[in-house]
Structure 1
Amino acid sequence: MVLVVEPLLPQRLRRPSDALRFLATLLGLIAVVLLALVAKQTLNGLEADVEEGAKRAPDLLITVSTFLGGALVLAIPVAFAVERVLHRDGLRVAEGLIAAIMGMVVSFFLSEWLISTGPEDIRQLLTGGRHDVEPVSALLTSVIAYVTAVRISRRPTWRAVMWTAVALNIFALYTGTSITLPGAVVTILLGMAVGYATLYSVGSPNTRPPGSAVVAALRRLGQSPVKARRIEDDAQGSRRYAVGLADGHRLDVTVLDRDRQVAGLLYRLWRRLRLHTETRRRAIRSLRAELEREALMAYAAQAAGVSTPSLIGTSEIGTDAALLAYEHIPTTALEDVPDEEIDDELLSRIWRQIQLLQAKRLAHRRLTGDSIHLDASRQVVLMDARSGEIAAGDLLLRLDLAQLLTYLALRVGAERSVRAAAEVLGPNALAAALPLLQRIALTRETRSALAKHKDLLSAIRDQIVRLEPEVEVEEVQLERFRPSALFAIIGGALAAYFLLTGLGRVNPADIVAKAHWGWTGAALAAAATTYLAAALMLMGFVPEKLPLGRTVLAQFAGSFVKLVAPAVVGGVAINTRFLQKRGIPPGQAVASVGASQLIGLVFHVLLLLFFAYVTGSSTAPSFTPSRGLLVALLGLALLVLAVLGIAPIRRIVVKRTRSLFSGVVPRLLDVLQSPRKILQASSGTLLLTLAFVACLDASVRAFGGELNYAAVAVVFLAGNAIGSAAPTPGGLGAVEASLILGLTLSGLPSEVATSAVLLFRLLTFWLPVLPGWAAFTYLQRHEAL
């Protein structure tokens, strides 16, 4: 047992990344509103063009978007909440609900303020002048705030599905004139801002590993720690530990925490934008990149012969931290050494270390009093190599010289600082650094100290010129722009935008290209598509790779087997046998086919409900709930969360649903690991049903029948479900009777309905028998069945 002395880590942290995201989102929101107000005429024209284009969208597309967008935008957050609660992550869901409630409150008061007393221009911008349009959608703001606060962006599949639902909902609202384009953008940005503000306000769970995890990581490096003590953080805010080893030696351990990687981001971005520094460093650095950078710089400095603590090893600590273990050298920082103790010999030792760095083109980039140390024999030891760069360019090397010249001049005067450097590096090297003796080139600490010594940089320049009077100083412009020029840049950009967009708009000509096929040919093509869709569906539910060609042939073989077996049984038997021949164990093969059947059933029911809903509506209704309903839904979510948070009730729910996680569900979870498989499975399942509906619809039109596509879909989905339950081969007799009855009840003459169903069954049941027999024989001959 190793004793680790450190303060208790807080349970929750306010992450700088959340504050930065909130700030960035807020700035984006302001920028969108300002640009929209400046380019009002252009935006009105764009709005009119988009509105005109939306009116030409097919009614079916609008109806599908309305239903799916409105339903999924509510169902997906609920499903994610249930999934998190079952994984005992209910606290995250609670944070999301707080953000959703705050989003609803903010959007409500903002909308009421804009409608009643807000600026007329902004109200016109967000409502389009229509009194029945909310300036900010309460539903979307709440949903976006929720998904932001639960960090759904870290789950790629959930994120893709959620944003697809949001896009569909916005499209439905826009085509129904319930929202404007600026209103949609403002709503999304406002929801994200509320979500990030909630995360920063309530804090996030502290994922920083404690000292015991640091000790465990050191053991994996082959070390034998016996005690550890937290010491003062370094200049970048990273944790440091003094670790005692069993052999009496000590290690200095630096811990890089993932949540600290964005600390100081705004300052780094500002310096990167404002200055020419010839750097390859990224302003936003990942944990892995930061670890590799510091380790590489430490090894390079050791190889160059520079006196630095030896890097013993590096290691990740879980997924949220990493450590670097250095040998301990008892030292004293130069900033703690009195000025009168800094003699010429010490100055020479410092410059000799810099000479070694410069010879190997290593830039330290932080040569200050806290990074230059002295050991017990007053030898110089350079610390804090994390900010450095290897293979540095001339500019960075000269910046190091200018920084150290200035720092040492602050301590011992310009004359001694320059003389000591010239004795080691030579006057020519100092002359090269002469143009870089600018305040903007120095570190923040050095710039602050120069405020009390305004003439110091001039004194350093004078000393260098005395050493090298004939030097030709080439001016180096480090600043890209001065802060005073920032407003001019923004104003010029806005003016240019306004000018360019005001020159005119080009409206592309409407291109309407509709291919007119014979309805029988269209029905045949749709019938053929069902076999490709069935193959994609099966391939999507099998994590192993399947060949597309043979999988399609297996589906054709299933059409032959349907002659002697019920529709569902024949297809299941063929697909299961096909998977076993591909080397998949029997249990997994059955589970894969069962998973495809289960999801197919779910799609079947959902599509039946959807098309039934569409058929009963003459227009595309708005599926957006009222604010009262939204409040009720949020209250219900809180209630469900509280109930599932009670351990006895949660155990009952888990016990009842555990059976689902045997066989089929684990196979589904394997599929969910691959977004490509998810897309393949869902698209195949959906395409299979839609192709059958298209075949029946084309068969109806082939005989002059006119029936709404949604009505045909309801007839097929209901009739096929009834027919599949029949014990006859392929549902023979039951499918025909149910389809004819459904089409007749939908308003088709009985003769047209009968002819259409017979053509449909000829194309989907009888005609594929011969190619199905050929496929069955081929697969058997090649031992694929």
Structure 2
Amino acid sequence: MPESIAPVFRAPQRARAGEDAPSVQIEDTPTARVHHPSDLVGLVLTVLSAAVVMLLAVYAHGTTAGVAADVQGFSSIVRRILVFPVAVLEASIALIAPIAVLTELAVRRLGRQMLEVVAAGVAALVLCAGVLAAVAAFGSDDLVRGLSVWRGGQWTLSIPASLAALAGLLTTAGPRGRRRSVDWSWNLVWVSLGVVLVTGQVSLPGAALALLIGRAGGLTVRYVSGVQSERAYGPALVAGIRRAGFTPARLVRVPEAGSDVDGVGGADGPDESSVAIAADTNNRVYELTTDDGEELSVVVLDGDRQVIGGLSRLWRSLRLRGIEGRSFVSLRQAAERAALLAYAARAAGVRTPALLAVAEAEDSMLLIQARPGHAVALRHLDPADLDDELLRAIWAQLRLAHDAGIAHRALTSDTVLVEPGPLEAGGPGAEPREPLVWLTDWDSGDIASSELARRMDLTQMLALLALRVGATRALESATAVLPDDDIAALGPMLQTIALPHRTREEIRAHREVLADVRSALVERLPEADVEPERLVRFGARTVITVILPVVAVVVVLATINVEQIASALSTSDWRWSVVAFALGLLTFFGAALAFVAFSPVRLAVWNATLVQTAGAFVALAAPAGIGPAALNLRMLTKRGVTTSLAVATVALVQVSQFVVTIALLLVLSIGSGTNEASRFTPSPVTLLIIGVLAGLAASSLLVPAVRQWLVRRTMPTISQTWPRLIEVVGQPRKLALALAGNVLMTMGYVLAFDASLAAFGQELSLVQVALVYLIGNAAGAAVPSPGGIGTIELALIGGLTAAGLNPGVATSVAILFRVLTYWLRIPIGWVAMRTLQRSGEL
């Protein structure tokens, strides 16, 4: 018998008071302790709250001090009411509360929890002492002042450690509703806290920080050690089933997905339909055999597992478009929702296990339902057994649900069950009948669902069937049941983000499946659009493009001397600023010339210039260089250029800009007749590191997998740009126009940077200016931040400092250059974008 399933209960249960019930055979492994996810979530929120309190202590000191002063206005009244000193009251509560809690735990014989409570109090005490020492040693004057209280004629830093220890101890002791001593102790803590605040013994931010520190310590101990499981097991589980109106004779735990099921549940093991219900879910599932021989399934929803499900739903609703948000629901609400979906699906005619009863037991809800015959999960079937009739039956069941407005939202190979055909069901000579298809696990579904949710259902079903019978057969079975409009709408949805977790794992092992489905769809419906629809609101790239600029701006603001920069800007020559701004605008015209030269269709130079200008507005949200390229691609496709040819043209424009820039740098170096680049020459150690890295990169090419990856990454660009390059080379006028445009664009930026230097009375050789500019531009292209914000500024400052400029002046020059060539051009780009949209060019 596997370790995950072992008989641990075999005790008689009572059906009615005073009447012994026959013994119930239970095969289960109860969880003694649980690492509650809500404790981890609470810990994260507590730490964030502590950070907010510290920020308020710094930036809202006036408000917090005013509130504290108003509260302390009652101190004289409180002193008259209190017969004994405040210190005595505080010490009494700090002594009485722990004794009361530990006494109750001792009476309940909860020895381990007593140790945990003491450990939490000590941990909170140590943590508070550490925070107090860190604030005193490293905190700013504003932070120390915000956490201090006026006492004895001076400001005294006050984060009461006793309050933190009490909060940590009571947090670990358990919820107020289950421990009377914990309930009364929290009341005493709040009374004591009010008294010390009114009498001015502690500041308001200091008291709040102490409470949060103590709670963080208590939650840490709770999560690391785990809490006593309050799930329903054994007698409690049986009692819940009896309250639902069933008399159990045998109860067998079904292993979760990935567990070995051989030998579990007697000679034959658990029914595969029950195993399918347990797979890929957070719920426990049991096979129930009643005393009259009826075979049922019991799905157990545990309260401590609802947090993970709620966080998962919240994340998907935030990230995915068209998926409505769901607030966190209680255990009872989750069970009621699952029951509602099951009833609705069955009322719609969908073949799904009938829900027979719902019951509550301990911190669990029980859903008792019929077992779907001898159905087998789709993932356990041999692909040869999936004939066309069976595939159409699967689609028919899903269409029944959609016709009633119900979406499943989590269709996997474990939620689709198939009951065996005639030979298996009735033996040789049995009357033929179509196989029965079941759709299970509707608890993630929607009633009155959106069109997008139903399209996602169809996409999930198409993907999981294509994984088993191939893209062509899966699509043919869908077209036999669904209208062409529904089939055509699946093209933009064929993305891994639209698939459940289990199906995504299967897709990773067969990455060609989705591409095959798209090809089959286009072959079946040539007019169908298979361009992926944007389903996510944000991804990893979006997070990076938001975080990196913020970090870069914070670093710049934290490291530069603002007063020195302001002084430098006030003394700069505004005439050179005007020149730099004009040269920056000239780059739009240069980029337009190169774009017109490489375009496969005739373009007006004015319209092309407007498109490059609009790129300045798009750069506010797109990484450096990406915005103009996207607009160029859009302009070509609007004029009937095929997507592949438009992509090749845009790629050729970007490659030509890079080649011309490097060529210009060489020309300037040779033409200067001096070795002005010597200041940027790396040290011998740097050269050694570069040599080692180059050697490693070269040796990696000896690995076939690396060579294949490099070919896959580079060959598409080469294959796209090479034919266009050959065509342009054969037209000298276009080639000259492209060369002139790229030179004008690159030199426009270099000269604008040089003019920004001149505005501050600084002078560098043209080669040095070009080198610094190119380094900054390359940094902006390497890091995917909008418009290169942060990275370009830091790179320009570093380059100018290396060239010998004062860091403060270098920062002023870099900021002035970016203001003139990026920020001031954004409004002009917006006007150009609006003009192009009104004229239909974009």
TM-score under structure 1 length normalisation: 0.56
List per-residue Cα deviations over 1:304-359 (Å, max 9, x = no partner). 22122222222222454423232352122111223343332221111111111111
Instruction: Say if 1:218 and 1:224, in contact at 8 Å, map to a contact too.
Output: yes
List per-residue Cα deviations over 1:527-556 (Å, max 9, x = no partner). xxxxxxxxxxxxxxxxxxxxxxxxxxxxxx
List per-residue Cα deviations over 1:252-274 (Å, max 9, x = no partner). 21112222222344333221221
The residue identity in structure 2 corresponding to 1:12 is R
In structure 2, the residue matched to 1:249 is 294
In structure 2, the residue matched to 1:441 is 498
In structure 2, the residue matched to 1:710 is none
List per-residue Cα deviations over 1:623-657 (Å, max 9, x = no partner). xxxxxxxxxxxxxxxxxxxxxxxxxxxxxxxxxxx
| Inter-partner Cα distance in structure 1 for 2:316 and 2:79 | 49
List per-residue Cα deviations over 1:579-604 (Å, max 9, x = no partner). xxxxxxxxxxxxxxxxxxxxxxxxxx
Change (3 A) 1:108 1:267: same
Secondary structure of the residue aligned to 1:216 is helix
Deviates more, 1:373-382 or 1:356-365: 373-382
Instruction: Say if 2:172 and 2:222, in contact at 8 Å, map to a contact too.
Output: yes
Secondary structure of the residue aligned to 1:263 is helix
| Inter-partner Cα distance in structure 2 for 1:443 and 1:56 | 60
| Inter-partner Cα distance in structure 2 for 1:224 and 1:47 | 62
Please point out which of 59, 67, 71 is paired with 2:76: 59
1:336 partnered with 2:359: no
Secondary structure of the residue aligned to 2:448 is coil
Q: What pairs up with 1:21-60 in 2 under 5 angstroms?
A: 21-33=42-54, 35-36=55-56, 40=58, 42-50=59-67, 52-54=69-71, 56-57=73-74, 59-60=76-77
Q: How many residues align?
A: 492
List per-residue Cα deviations over 1:226-270 (Å, max 9, x = no partner). 222222132223222112234433112111222222234433322
TM-score under structure 2 length normalisation: 0.52
Please point out which of 301, 304, 307 is paired with 2:351: 307
Change (3 A) 1:172 1:487: farther
1:275, distance to aligned residue in structure 2 (A):
1.7
Change (3 A) 1:162 1:430: farther
In structure 2, the residue matched to 1:650 is none
Secondary structure of the residue aligned to 1:460 is helix
Change (3 A) 1:3 1:166: closer
Q: Structure 2, unaligned stretches of length 5 or more?
A: 1-21, 257-277, 422-434, 558-842
Change (3 A) 1:3 1:244: same
RMSD, aligned α-carbons: 3.8
Q: What pairs up with 1:649-728 in 2 under 5 angstroms?
A: none
The residue identity in structure 2 corresponding to 1:207 is E
1:103 partnered with 2:124: yes
List per-residue Cα deviations over 1:11-64 (Å, max 9, x = no partner). 33222222222232223334544x448xx4x33333443455456445214666
1:406, distance to aligned residue in structure 2 (A):
1.8
In structure 1, the residue matched to 2:417 is 373
Instruction: Say if 1:6 and 1:211, in contact at 8 Å, map to a contact too.
Output: no
Change (3 A) 1:323 1:98: farther
Secondary structure of the residue aligned to 1:273 is helix
Secondary structure of the residue aligned to 1:223 is coil
| Inter-partner Cα distance in structure 2 for 1:129 and 1:475 | 63
In structure 2, the residue matched to 1:364 is 408
Please point out which of 237, 254, 262 is paired with 2:307: 262
1:397 partnered with 2:454: yes
Please point out which of 378, 383, 389 is paired with 1:345: 389
In structure 2, the residue matched to 1:682 is none
1:137 partnered with 2:160: yes
Instruction: Say if 1:311 and 1:326, in contact at 8 Å, map to a contact too.
Output: yes
The residue identity in structure 1 corresponding to 2:514 is L
In structure 1, the residue matched to 2:471 is 414
Instruction: Say if 2:34 and 2:229, in contact at 8 Å, map to a contact too.
Output: yes
Instruction: Say if 2:406 and 2:446, in contact at 8 Å, map to a contact too.
Output: yes
Q: What pairs up with 1:546-585 in 2 under 5 angstroms?
A: none
Please point out which of 213, 219, 241 is paired with 2:236: 213
The residue identity in structure 1 corresponding to 2:374 is P
In structure 2, the residue matched to 1:276 is 321
| Inter-partner Cα distance in structure 1 for 2:290 and 2:410 | 30
| Inter-partner Cα distance in structure 2 for 1:28 and 1:115 | 20
List per-residue Cα deviations over 1:191-223 (Å, max 9, x = no partner). 111111122233222222223433333334443
List per-residue Cα deviations over 1:482-502 (Å, max 9, x = no partner). 344346667999999xx9xxx
1:457 partnered with 2:514: yes
| Inter-partner Cα distance in structure 2 for 1:10 and 1:113 | 40
The residue identity in structure 2 corresponding to 1:14 is H
Change (3 A) 1:220 1:177: closer
| Inter-partner Cα distance in structure 1 for 2:149 and 2:512 | 60
Q: Structure 1, unaligned stretches of length 5 or more?
A: 500-785
In structure 2, the residue matched to 1:592 is none
In structure 1, the residue matched to 2:361 is 317
| Inter-partner Cα distance in structure 2 for 1:153 and 1:276 | 40
| Inter-partner Cα distance in structure 2 for 1:159 and 1:222 | 37
In structure 2, the residue matched to 1:237 is 282
1:115, distance to aligned residue in structure 2 (A):
3.5
The residue identity in structure 2 corresponding to 1:258 is G
Instruction: Say if 2:72 and 2:199, in contact at 8 Å, map to a contact too.
Output: no
Instruction: Say if 1:133 and 1:178, in contact at 8 Å, map to a contact too.
Output: no
List per-residue Cα deviations over 1:444-491 (Å, max 9, x = no partner). 222333334445434434433444444578985432223443466679
1:140, distance to aligned residue in structure 2 (A):
0.9
Deviates more, 1:156-165 or 1:233-242: 156-165
In structure 2, the residue matched to 1:327 is 371
| Inter-partner Cα distance in structure 1 for 2:61 and 2:52 | 18
Amino-acid identity (%): 32
Change (3 A) 1:232 1:115: same
Change (3 A) 1:295 1:246: same
Instruction: Say if 2:149 and 2:157, in contact at 8 Å, map to a contact too.
Output: no
Change (3 A) 1:328 1:310: same
Instruction: Say if 2:475 and 2:521, in contact at 8 Å, map to a contact too.
Output: yes
Change (3 A) 1:71 1:374: same
Please point out which of 177, 181, 194 is paired with 2:217: 194
| Inter-partner Cα distance in structure 2 for 1:72 and 1:184 | 16
1:142, distance to aligned residue in structure 2 (A):
0.7
Please point out which of 429, 434, 440 is paired with 2:486: 429
Instruction: Say if 2:117 and 2:173, in contact at 8 Å, map to a contact too.
Output: yes
Instruction: Say if 1:309 and 1:329, in contact at 8 Å, map to a contact too.
Output: no
Secondary structure of the residue aligned to 2:409 is coil
Secondary structure of the residue aligned to 2:308 is coil
Change (3 A) 1:122 1:360: same
Secondary structure of the residue aligned to 1:194 is helix
| Inter-partner Cα distance in structure 2 for 1:280 and 1:49 | 39
List per-residue Cα deviations over 1:710-733 (Å, max 9, x = no partner). xxxxxxxxxxxxxxxxxxxxxxxx
Instruction: Say if 1:295 and 1:324, in contact at 8 Å, map to a contact too.
Output: no
In structure 2, the residue matched to 1:751 is none
List per-residue Cα deviations over 1:488-524 (Å, max 9, x = no partner). 667999999xx9xxxxxxxxxxxxxxxxxxxxxxxxx
Q: What pairs up with 1:632-647 in 2 under 5 angstroms?
A: none
| Inter-partner Cα distance in structure 2 for 1:490 and 1:158 | 46
| Inter-partner Cα distance in structure 1 for 2:231 and 2:484 | 49
Deviates more, 1:79-88 or 1:222-231: 79-88
Change (3 A) 1:385 1:47: closer
The residue identity in structure 2 corresponding to 1:260 is R
The residue identity in structure 2 corresponding to 1:436 is M
